[in-house]
Amino acid sequence: MRKKGGKEKLNRLANKHVLQLSIILFLLIIIAVVVIVARKVIINNGQATNFETEEISNNDDSEQSQNTTNSTNETGTENSSNTVTASNNLSLLDDWQIRLVNRDNPLPDDFTVELENLDASRKFDKRAIEPLKQMICDMRDRGIKNIWAQSTYRSIEYQKGLYEKSINKYLKQGKSQEEAQKLTDEYINRPGTSEHHLGLAVDFNNVDEGFENTKAYKWLLENASDYGFILRYPKEKEDITGIEYEPWHWRYVGPEHAKKMKEQNLCLEEYVLGSNLV
Ligand SMILES: [Zn+2]
């Protein structure tokens, strides 16, 4: 009996140990699972801001893509993030119609485009001149006679002249060089950063805000997307485009893109780069 009792005690002791070990093992597994889940959450959060960059860039080289993400996170500056975004998109979104030209995305010095004459002194991209002519023609047919293309393609040289002229105007008004530059930057793109260099932008009539109150402007808001044109610098997008509202400036992006941008109320920066990146 005593012997049997001792065995039972031994068995109970062994069972107790097995139970304790099982509990410890179970706890270890739970800790491991928690650690793995926590790590995943941290990694996902770290990549979240760059998710769209990677999606747009569709980078096959995952290692390079990872490096890009890391370097952006480490430096954390707006400039570096813009540079990454811009270079990825310029090389991969290979669509001439939605080529983004702005302060962060200047054109290369060797940029060329095939132009065609709109009239004696104005030129436009050969691939988009017909929609522009058609649009102006249709406006006139609808009784809007007071419409003309004032400024279309501009060479980088010409833009230099415009930019300097504006700076000088402000200097003559007694502004400092810094103030003159700031005021000029609000309306005139620095040479190389104007989309007029593309031959896809048109300024209508007197190039002033009064254009907003014309029949032509209202007609353009309604119909320009059918011809592939968008209002490039809308009032509510000034923070994103970095350019003050310009009712006179319209940009050809092709009907397909223009309609999508109009429907979704996106400016070109948002459409090309993704709304979280600008
Ligand atoms: Zn313009």
In this predicted model, what pLDDT tens digit does every residue of 193-221 receive, in sequence order?
A: 999 999 999 999 999 999 999 999 999 99
pLDDT the model gives residue 60: 33
Domain range for residue 30? Answer: 2-81
Q: How many domains does the chain have?
A: 2
**Confidence (pTM):** 0.62
Query: How far is the centre of ligand 1, averaged over its atoms, from the C-alpha of 159 (Å)?
Result: 11
72, 50 contact by CB (below 8 A): yes
pLDDT the model gives residue 156: 87
pLDDT tens profile 100-112? 999 899 998 788 9
Based on the domain organization, do 199 and 115 belong to the same domain?
A: yes
Domain C-terminal end among 21, 47, 81: 81
- 9 vs 114 pLDDT, higher one: 114
Query: How far is the centre of ligand 1, averaged over its atoms, from the C-alpha of 174 (Å)?
Result: 26
Residue 90 lies in a domain: no
- 54 vs 226 pLDDT, higher one: 226
Residue 174 lies in a domain: no
Based on the domain organization, do 121 and 238 belong to the same domain?
A: yes
Mean pLDDT of 155-159: 87
Reported as a pLDDT band with limits 50, 70 and 90, residue 41 is: very low
Domain C-terminal end among 20, 49, 81: 81
Query: How far is the centre of ligand 1, averaged over its atoms, from the C-alpha of 137 (Å)?
Result: 20
pLDDT tens profile 51-95? 333 333 333 333 333 333 333 333 233 333 333 344 444 444 679
pLDDT the model gives residue 20: 78
Query: How far is the centre of ligand 1, averaged over its atoms, from the C-alpha of 151 (Å)?
Result: 7
Query: How far is the centre of ligand 1, averaged over its atoms, from the C-alpha of 201 (Å)?
Result: 6
pLDDT tens profile 241-256? 988 999 999 999 999 9
pLDDT the model gives residue 257: 96
First and final C-alpha spacing in the chain: 84
Based on the domain organization, do 76 and 114 belong to the same domain?
A: no
Is 222 among the catalytic positions? no
- Among 246, 256, 269, 270, the active-site one is 246
Query: How far is the centre of ligand 1, averaged over its atoms, from the C-alpha of 267 (Å)?
Result: 15
Based on the domain organization, do 133 and 208 belong to the same domain?
A: yes
